[in-house]
Amino acid sequence: MAQLSLPADKRDNAVMTLPALLVRRIAETDYLPCWQAMKALTDARTPHSPDELWVVEHPPVFTLGQAGKPEHILGAGAIPVVQCDRGGQVTYHGPGQTVIYLLLDLHRMGIGARALVTGIEQAIIAMLADLGLTANSKPDAPGVYLDGAKIASLGLRIRHGRSYHGLSLNRAMDMAPYQRINPCGYAGQPMTSLALLSAPHERRATEDALLAALATTLDLSLPDQALTTLPDAPPAATLTPDSSLAAHEAAGETPRHALTQELP
């Protein structure tokens, strides 16, 4: 069990005992039930609930952020489109891409939304540096880039000081679906992957390295064992092309950030 000292004006020499971090590693899961599960878990959290990291892969799917504009989807074809409640515009998930969802109590960690975004970006940059790749972030377009090409995307939701959604890192995937969208709302944004950069891209090694980097930048203690199932969630609707998108109206200006924050 990790321990966190309370602020001096609240602790009276007491120490809060925190539950151990949980890691879930899922071989493959559809996006919609996974999103429903992380949202349900966040809604049900208490101050004593453990933080969780979910390491997953999704079948092909386009996801559009809460304020995302459908015109950034140029032609989905047979690939389903889901409009969700994260920040940011449109992105693609598919086989060969590592996705990590971060279900964290930011209040308990003592950090804010910007620190979380920075910590995630720094973790990805450090992990890529270990592979001999020099990457960078951009202040006006969250994610991680190499020579202008994007290799990792971020999209988060903060509700009452608790995060969900997370990051995606392209390992070795079919890049053609990115031609059907304006990635993250930017027309012509180049995309890349570890395989295209001739870097090591084995799935388990990549996941392990990224988890270790996140643990370092976010001061997390990884468990020795991981769970292999998602928590129970409400039954998912059938995911068909454009079915979720059709149920929502996108509004607002194109966001320059990857964060949707709901204040208490």
Which residues participate in catalysis according to the annotation? 184
Question: Cα torsion at 240, 251, 93, 36 (round to 10°)?
Answer: -70
Strand-strand pairing, 259-262 and 149-159: parallel
SS3 152: strand
What sign has the CA pseudo-torsion 263, 245, 87, 254? Answer: negative
Strand-strand pairing, 22-25 and 52-56: parallel
Q: Exposed (0-12), middle (13-18) or buried (19+): which is 76, by Cβ within 10 Å?
A: buried
CA distances (Å), 194 to each of 1, 93, 127, 203, in order? 35, 15, 12, 11
Beta bridge mates, 163: 158
* Distance between CA atoms of residues 165 and 149, nearest Å: 22
SS3 88: coil
* Distance between CA atoms of residues 16 and 5, nearest Å: 6
- Nearest to 56, CA basis, from 77, 30, 25, 95: 25
SS3 49: coil
The answer to whether 191 and 179 are in contact (CB under 8 A) is no
